[in-house]
Amino acid sequence: MVITYHGGEFFKVSFADTTVAINPISKESKLSSARFGADIAIVSLNDKDFNGVEQVTHGDKEPFAILGPGEYEVKKVFIKGLQSMSGYGGSERINTIYSIMLEGMNLVFLGALNSNKLNADVKEALGEIDILFLPIGGDGVLNTADAHALAVDLEPKIVIPMHYGDIENPPAGGGKETALAKFLKEDGSENGKPVDKLTIKKKDLDGKEGEIVVLKT
């Protein structure tokens, strides 16, 4: 499985001949987007920053779109959507947390979640988490402290932070510290080096406990 990051909360997950797009950015968004063909498109919040299914409809690929809570099986990918809330855009809105099972791994995508308190039923439904996609930028989603607290509580093997702005151009000396830098400090992982992609198999998760992987856009 190969995971690449396209900014905001937009990820591409590829394995075998299947491509999954998570929270693709719409061309109507102010955020930079990417365009490719996907077999499955998963959207956690109906907003131009997260729902750009048209951007991953390309060539002969028109994705099966998953837009909210429920249970789905598509191309041997098992997806469970659980309702939560978000404050993104300045008002309370429905956000969907997803558990995505593929190649024997459980990928949990929190979307635009804005609370680090998950009820017991949601936590139980998520199960044992292999890879956690965690928003950290505040402003309607989890801030760095709450994101760190939730990651500790959920005990994933790998954490992939998202929704934190531009890591390629951090503030100059004396400027405002980036959300990513704050999050890495919370975790004690200040030297986390961004990588182009995460290539991983189930066996690679052995012995990992909350390891942070920062992906370049």
Q: What pLDDT was estimated at residue 171?
A: 43
21: number of Cβ within 10 Å = 29
**Mean pLDDT by 10-residue block, N- to C-terminus, for the chain (217 residues)?**
97 96 96 94 97 94 96 97 95 96 97 95 96 95 95 97 69 62 82 87 95 94
Please tell me the total count of domains within the chain: 1
In a domain, 217, yes or no: no
By three-state DSSP, how is residue 86 classified? Answer: strand
CATH code where residue 114 lies: 3.60.15.10
Q: What pLDDT was estimated at residue 166?
A: 56
Residues 6+ apart with CB under 8 A from 126: 82, 97, 99, 106, 108, 118, 154
In a domain, 191, yes or no: yes
Give the model confidence (pLDDT) of 179-204 as tens digits.
Answer: 998 999 888 765 567 999 999 999 99
Q: What residues make up the domain containing 36?
A: 2-212
In a domain, 176, yes or no: yes
In a domain, 11, yes or no: yes
d(CA 44, CA 42): 7
How many angstroms separate the first and last alpha carbons of the chain?
A: 18
Q: What pLDDT was estimated at residue 172?
A: 45
DSSP structural state of residue 183? H
